């Protein structure tokens, strides 16, 4: 049996509350532009079409009352990454999404400091994206 250690290829933050798949097209489009812009600032060129991609998204918020469902925020984010982080949706092999209530205790193991920097800067809603 071979053990492979995953290495982060790219990671970046998007400040603001993620939008739901059911959001109005205008708000969804604005949020997707924010995601794409954050990716452009962190990724020199898309991962080649023959390579597989694993995506992890951590959503940080002060509580989740009146917020979109976690499963409904994934598609707009993945669509915004296409063409910037990866060439085609078919490259996405897996996706993991977690939400973290920043009003509680946060505990991390072997994470980059950049995962909490927005929180330390006073941002109340943001996502941290890792691409493997």
Sheet order of strands, 125-131 included: 10-15, 125-131, 53-61, 92-101
Alpha helices in the chain (DSSP H): 25-42, 70-81, 117-120
> Under CATH, domain 10-131 is a member of which superfamily?
Holliday junction resolvase RusA (3.30.1330.70)
Give the pLDDT confidence score for residue 130 in this predicted structure.
95
Q: What is the pLDDT of residue 95?
A: 96
Q: Which residue has the higher pLDDT, 66 or 45?
A: 45
pLDDT tens digits along 13-65: 999 999 998 888 899 999 999 999 999 999 999 999 999 999 999 999 998 88
pLDDT at 3: 56
Q: 8: pLDDT confidence band, cut at 50, 70 and 90?
A: confident
pLDDT tens for 91-107 read: 999 999 999 999 988 88
> CA-CA distance, 24 to 34, in Å (whole number)?
16
């Amino acid at each position: 049996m071979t053990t492979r250690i995953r290495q982060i290829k790219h990671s970046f933050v998007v400040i603001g509350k993620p939008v739901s798949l059911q959001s109005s097209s205008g708000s969804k489009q604005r949020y997707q532009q924010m995601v794409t812009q954050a990716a452009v600032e962190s990724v020199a060129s898309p991962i080649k079409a023959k390579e597989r991609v694993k995506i992890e998204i951590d959503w940080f918020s002060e509580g989740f009352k009146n917020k979109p469902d976690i499963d409904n925020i994934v598609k707009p984010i993945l669509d915004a990454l296409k063409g910037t982080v990866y060439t085609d949706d078919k490259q996405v092999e897996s996706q993991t999404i977690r939400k973290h209530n920043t009003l509680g205790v946060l505990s991390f193991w072997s994470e980059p400091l950049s995962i909490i920097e927005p929180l330390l800067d006073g941002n109340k809603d943001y996502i941290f994206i890792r691409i493997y």
